[in-house]
Structure 1
Amino acid sequence: MSLDSLWTQAWPWRGSLIALLVALGWAAGLRLARQPALGPAAAALGLAVGWVVTMGLVTASPRQLAERLPVLGLALAVLALVLAGLLRGRAGVIGLLMAALAVLGAAWWMAGAPMHGPSLVAALPVLAGVAAFGGAMLLRLDDATDGAKAALALLAGLLVAGGFGPQPMLAGCVAGAAIGAALAGAGGGPAVRAALAPAIAALGALPVIARGQPSDWAAAAAPLLALWLGPVIGRRLPARLGPALGWAIAAAPAIGLAWYLAPGRR
């Protein structure tokens, strides 16, 4: 394989590396400057930049679901900055409320941003589904490390599900941003939860909304299993292995099922 072909294959994934570097640079830079208050916004900033680099920024009304994600990422980044500045890592009623509103806002946006009664009723199944997905993520996602586990599980599911479009690359951006934030010690709190939970829910729901194949549903289940069953499995493993392997073992059945059910596999 030539260097040119390697570069061609790697180029669509550039957003993942950029997301990691942005998150790592933001959090590490603030720590070095002894101004870590805005550090928890690192993951949100990384995923927003990664999504824009991958998809571009569509300023007109998005015609495809994937085109909705860069605007959503930018909105989540602004919210994360506000929450990090106001709450400074303190998780309370306000932080939980804002994170829940972020999930609802992401669900509304992915449902087509309905503005009137009839369109809202028509979009209600999608809105409710994405909101439930995001709510389940919100209950278990505490910090950037959790976000990285969920994003990596989703990435693996999307890669084997036989899908189309940029969804795996967009999942790579979320994973890269979360990993960068975790490596820099960006911490957790409302700013992290309000950005990563809606982002993963919106991205996981995207192929289900667009195509709805059984493999898409299985892939979407992977991050939920990673966060909900991962700690349970991890506690049954040796202490040093539990946190590292529990989430992967928990997500493996969904990833395997996504591979088995992928169109054209059988």
Structure 2
Amino acid sequence: MASLRARDLRAALDVVTVLAGAERPEDVASAVAPALTGLLHADGFLYHDSEVVRRGGEVLRWRVASALPTPPFPGHEDLMCEHPLVRRADDVLQRGALRLSDVETASSWRSSRLYGEALRAEGVDDQVTSVLERSGDRWRTVTCYRAGTPFTERERDLLALLRPQLRAGLRRLLPPGRPRPGTGAAPALPAAPAGSELTAREDEVMALLARGCTSGQIGRAVGCSARTVEKHLEHVYAKLRVTNRVEAVQRWSPRGTGGAAAP
């Protein structure tokens, strides 16, 4: 982990502090995930307790037993068998953490069925994953993802550094075999609060997001940087009281169809 410096260790300690202070399963989504995604400059967080059945180097089945924040990518479980990091799960376990960009070129990833049919709309241009523990065919993993620029070696090494604390903390908060918050059918989102109407620019960003555009593509379309797009999305999340792109698209309604939030 030669990429890490003293300031990185202090930043990682902040995540450990949040994890230590978490007391309820719900705190994983409300506190731990934001702390980790903030540290890694990620757009989203996923926790999987999944079954991966393999024969040699071939993945025969990938099935999620439970996940946070919600069951990921419904209807695409068969395609997840083709995911480069699922196929390389042993390497992820051995190395502590791996980036998608460590094992797959950007052009190869973006030409894959998995990206085109499932993950492009989620903004998964790169991922960094850590296998927290394995028991037979069951794998418990944490993944952060983002659109646009790949994760750096420093960000990968930070996740690897935090793996022991994440393993212990998530095992305490989400014991194996206990249903996770968000497992099963995704609950209906509550109505957005009064005064949550989006600005014209935020609505424009959401229209492009709903079409599956990445932050970079949205920025080029509206004439701003990808970072500015992410700031717009932060404001949208706060107004709609959601935590990720999927929930934002689910709740958002275009202008002229009854407001910013879907019922």
TM over 0.5: no
**Greater fraction of residues in strand:** 2
Return the TM-score normalized by structure 2: 0.29
**Greater fraction of residues in helix:** 1
Return the TM-score normalized by structure 1: 0.29
Indicate the structure whose relative CO is greater, using CA pairs within 8 Å and at least 6 residues apart: 1
